[in-house]
Amino acid sequence: MTLLATPLPSVDAYVRHFSGQELPVLRRTARELDALRASADSVSGKRVAAVVLGDPLMTMRLLTHLEKHRGRSQNHDITTIDRAIMMMGVEPFFATFDKLTTVEDTLHAHPKALIGVIRVIANARRAADFARDWAVVRHDLDPNEITVAALLREATEIVCWVFAPELTQRVYNMQSADPGLRSAFAQKAVFGTTANAIQLGLIRAWCLPELLVQLLDETQHENARVRTVRLAADFARHLARGWDDAALPDDIAAIGKLLHLPREALLQRLGVPEEFRSRFGDADAR
In this predicted structure, the answer to whether residue 286 has a pLDDT above a threshold of 60 is no
Whole domain around residue 92: which residue ranges? Answer: 22-103
Instruction: Please indicate, yes or no, if residue 38 is contained in any of the structural domains.
Output: yes
Query: Confidence band (pLDDT; 50, 70, 90) for 285?
Result: very low
Instruction: Please indicate, yes or no, if residue 166 is contained in any of the structural domains.
Output: no
Query: Confidence band (pLDDT; 50, 70, 90) for 183?
Result: confident
As a whole number of angstroms, the distance between CA 25 and CA 117 comes to: 11
Instruction: Please indicate, yes or no, if residue 87 is contained in any of the structural domains.
Output: yes
Instruction: Please indicate, yes or no, if residue 63 is contained in any of the structural domains.
Output: yes
Closest CA to 21 of 35, 3, 37, 39: 3
Sorted by sequence, the CB contacts under 8 Å of residue 200 that are 6+ apart come out as none
Q: What pLDDT, on the 0 to 100 scale, is given for residue 282? A: 63
Instruction: Please indicate, yes or no, if residue 253 is contained in any of the structural domains.
Output: no
Question: Tens digit of pLDDT for each residue in 83-128?
Answer: 899 988 999 999 999 989 999 999 999 999 999 999 999 999 999 9
Q: Which neighbouring-strand residues pair with 260? A: none
Instruction: Please indicate, yes or no, if residue 26 is contained in any of the structural domains.
Output: yes
Segment 259-263 shows an average pLDDT of 93
Which of 155-159, 177-181, 211-215 has the highest average model confidence (pLDDT)?
A: 155-159
Query: Confidence band (pLDDT; 50, 70, 90) for 76?
Result: low
Query: In Å, how far are 37, 55, 195, 240, 245 from 58, measured between CA atoms?
Result: 15, 5, 20, 23, 31
Q: Which neighbouring-strand residues pair with 102? A: 25
Segment 37-44 shows an average pLDDT of 90
Instruction: Please indicate, yes or no, if residue 46 is contained in any of the structural domains.
Output: yes
Closest CA to 63 of 155, 201, 158: 155
Question: Tens digit of pLDDT for each residue in 188-199?
Answer: 999 999 988 898
Residue percentage of the chain with pLDDT more than 90: 72
Element holding 34 (H helix, E strand): helix 27-37
The C-alpha angle 122, 127, 129, rounded to 5 degrees, equals: 100
Whether the Cβ atoms of residue 198 and residue 12 lie closer than 8 Å to each other? no
Closest CA to 134 of 254, 278, 7: 254
As a whole number of angstroms, the distance between CA 231 and CA 226 comes to: 9
In this predicted structure, the answer to whether residue 218 has a pLDDT above a threshold of 80 is no
Instruction: Please indicate, yes or no, if residue 79 is contained in any of the structural domains.
Output: yes
Residue percentage of the chain with pLDDT more than 70: 95
Query: Confidence band (pLDDT; 50, 70, 90) for 165?
Result: very high
How many domains would you assign to the chain?
A: 1
In this predicted structure, the answer to whether residue 166 has a pLDDT above a threshold of 60 is yes
